[in-house]
Amino acid sequence: MRVLVVGAGALGGYFGASLLKVNRDVTFLVRPPRAAQLRANGLRIRSPAVDFTVAPPIVTAEQLVDHADLILVCVKSYALSQAMEQFAAAVGPNTVILPVLNGIAHMETLTARFGADRVLGGTSLAGGALDADGNVNVPFAGGEIVFGELSGATTPRCHAISSLFDGAATSARASDTIMQDMWEKFTFLAAGNGISCLMRATLGDILATPGGTDMIARACNEARDVATACGYPPRQAYVDRILGFYSIQGSPVKASMLRDIERDAPTEGEHTIGDMVRRARRYGVPTPFLDIAYCMVDAYEARRAREAGKT
């Protein structure tokens, strides 16, 4: 199976390098600055379980000519439109597109452009970040992509993708409830991003305040109400797991969106908190906490645009 990984950031780098390590046919589609960095240093993956470097085959958009069997899309949501233009040349009659992005709205964008029959649902149970040298640092061992047909069917191409990861440091698990899986992550990601960014703090620091536990519960309840109104009420086992994670005293965890704000980078606020708020409006669900969080991140992006001379 010929695999094109779109993006070599934390997720794309981690999953793509793990496949290369077990001799899969993988090429990375990257922008010129990242291409130069990878050519000079290779792609290093560091986690509690592995530490290895690969020399990744890379192409830039103007060099892309061959069709791929699988396109693994691992970019930030705000980069998706540009990425689609860049990888479109690799989409052939039998190509499968598997996005591993936060949120839900990108599914409509991808299916409108390439057709619902070519697009799978996907979400990642992994996390990480690039350091200044372009290495991928993953805080937890393992890592998994959960994916599946939008219809819920089990198909030969799902089996083929799962088998592709056999022996790799990461895995891919086919799900017959992929939209439910994606909605559950979207629900609590929107809440977690909102909490962390509004408070400008780790979960542990928020929990240490007198109203911290209540604030977290309010955000999670609002997002859960929106998901329920949209037809995807989170399953109780998932709710219990996430609320347990969000209640760990002293937790050093902070949302990736807060890390983006701290380094004055663009955020996925529109694709997570903003999309959740817009869906709440559509169904008449009150979300006072998420409204404030969305206003905060939107004001942050407006300030960035103004200072860059874009407004």
- Residues 99, 106: contact at Cβ < 8 Å? yes
pLDDT, tens digit, 9 for 90 and up, residues 81-92 = 999 999 999 999
Q: Look at 116 and 50; give whichever has higher pLDDT.
A: 116
pLDDT at 310: 67
Residue 268 reports pLDDT greater than 90:
yes
State the average pLDDT over residues 273-281: 97
pLDDT at 156: 95
The DSSP symbol for 234 reads P
Residue with tokens 């993956």: 45
Residue 311 reports pLDDT greater than 60:
no
pLDDT at 131: 86
Residue 99 reports pLDDT greater than 80:
yes
Q: Which amino acids are annotated catalytic? A: 185
Which strands, in side-by-side order, build the sheet including 91-99?
A: 58-59, 25-29, 2-6, 68-73, 91-99
* N residues, the chain: 311
Coil vs helix vs strand at 220: helix
pLDDT, tens digit, 9 for 90 and up, residues 200-252 = 999 999 999 999 999 999 999 999 999 999 999 999 999 999 999 999 999 99
State the average pLDDT over residues 112-139: 89
* CATH class of this structure's domain 180-307: mainly alpha
pLDDT, tens digit, 9 for 90 and up, residues 17-67 = 999 999 999 999 999 999 999 999 999 999 888 899 999 999 999 999 899
pTM: 0.93
Measured CA to CA, the distance from residue 276 to residue 191 in angstroms comes to 9
Residue 157 reports pLDDT greater than 90:
yes
Long-range contacts of 211-219 (CB under 8 A, 24+ apart): 213/247, 215/289, 216/191, 216/246, 216/247, 217/243, 218/289, 219/191, 219/192, 219/194, 219/195, 219/289, 219/290, 219/293
Q: Say if 2-176 and 180-307 have the same CATH topology.
A: no
Phi, psi of 59 (to 5 degrees): -135, 155
Return the CATH superfamily for domain 2-176: NAD(P)-binding Rossmann-like Domain (3.40.50.720)
Residue 139 reports pLDDT greater than 60:
yes
- Residues 114, 138: contact at Cβ < 8 Å? no
Residues 6+ apart with CB under 8 A from 133: 41, 44
Q: Give percent of the chain with pLDDT exceeding 70.
A: 99
Residue with tokens 């010129």: 32
Residues 6+ apart with CB under 8 A from 77: 101, 102, 103, 105, 106, 268, 270, 271, 272
Nearest to 174, CA basis, from 151, 202, 205, 200: 151
Residue 291 reports pLDDT greater than 80:
yes
> Per-domain residue ranges for the chain?
2-176, 180-307
